Chain A
Amino acid sequence: MHSFGYRANALLTFAITILAVLCGLASLSDNFNFPSPSAEVQVLNINWFQKQPNGNDEVSMTLNISADLRSLFTWNTKQVFVFLAAEYETPKYSLNQISLWDGIVTSKEHAKFLIHTSNKYRFIDQGSNLLGKEFNLTLHWHVMPKTGKMFADRMVMPGYRLPQDYR
């Protein structure tokens, strides 16, 4: 009844239970954070815009991204994965989401940033629908916790338009 094995077992079970409860509480505490991030994106330049030999449109652009994601950070936040996606509709596809840039923010100090970049991933349409195309730029953020549930949200910035001709 009071052998070493029993005591070791009880201690281990208790320790694991406490750890699990603490992890659960840490994850729950994220629900009390109401973040209010802000972001602004400018398309500074269309570097080039052409039709590939296989018929798909491809565009390269220079972007200016400024964001303040400091309010997303809590004590249970390991990192925030932030990315900018172009979203638009075409006759054949009801939704096209193309990630243009992404970054990993690991601390609150780096969560306010201004980035000047050309698109990191290729902006290729499935077809040739990009001439004069109106599209949204959406900044998404995925919060990865130290433990527990992951959070995600986004901010849609509508009203961007591609040029009427290839260049």
Chain B
Amino acid sequence: MGWIGDTVDSVKSIQVRQALTQVVNLGLIVTSALVIWKGLMCLTGSESPVVVVLSGSMEPGFKRGDILFLHMSKDPIRTGEIVVFNIDGRDIPIVHRVIKVHERRDTGEIFILTKGDNNPMDDRVLYNHGQHWLQQHHIMGRAVGFLPYVGWVTIIMTEKPILKYILIGALGLLVITSKD
């Protein structure tokens, strides 16, 4: 019976209050990150307010690993703007510049053609077969701001998922074991 008593004692000796504080702290960090993300979504009106540039098609303006801040305002899209669009049936958004716009007088529909600054050809080759124009519903936002290099963190983490787990684990451990 002795070892059961010992175990009970040791369980009792854990400071329940401190453990709870740590859990609440961890929860606060996670939720505040979520609040910031969702808040940005509300402010910018874009479903992904921040995107990481994955290809070199906009060099030398944007390099792989740069971060773009998107905004989705009511203003119509015009030539020269850098938009992020999603082609039907494909997951990966593309960041390219608008080179042609035609706006219908009766319906207000817009027809957009894009091109990467560093690509020799316009984007018709990227669009679905037979698709000549992008329309409003393809557009996820337009780029308004720019921060270099920061996106490498996410690129490295998506390419080497093990690093992600190590980092999350280490951070979690740090939060739980910190004394004050």
Contact = CB atoms under 8 A, between A and B. Distances in A.
B146 A97 contact: no
Interface in B78-132: 78-82, 97, 99-106, 111, 117, 122
Contacts of B61: 78-79, 81, 104, 144
Given A79-B60, A140-B80, A147-B148, A94 B101 contact: no
Interface of A: 1, 5, 23, 27, 78-79, 81, 83, 85, 91-99, 102, 104, 106, 121, 126, 140, 142, 144-150, 152, 154
Interface in B121-180: 122, 143-148, 174, 179-180
Interface residue range, chain B: 20 to 34
Contacts of A148: 145-147
A97 B143 contact: no
B148 A146 contact: yes
A65 B100 CA distance: 20
A121 B122 contact: yes
A121 B143 contact: no
Given A98-B100, A102-B99, A146-B148, 6 more contacts: A1-B179, A98-B79, A121-B122, A147-B148, A152-B81, A154-B80
B105 A92 contact: yes
B103 A152 contact: no
Query: Which interface residue of A5, A99, A149 has the most chain B CB atoms within 10 A?
Result: A99
Given A94-B105, A142-B80, A104 B60 contact: yes
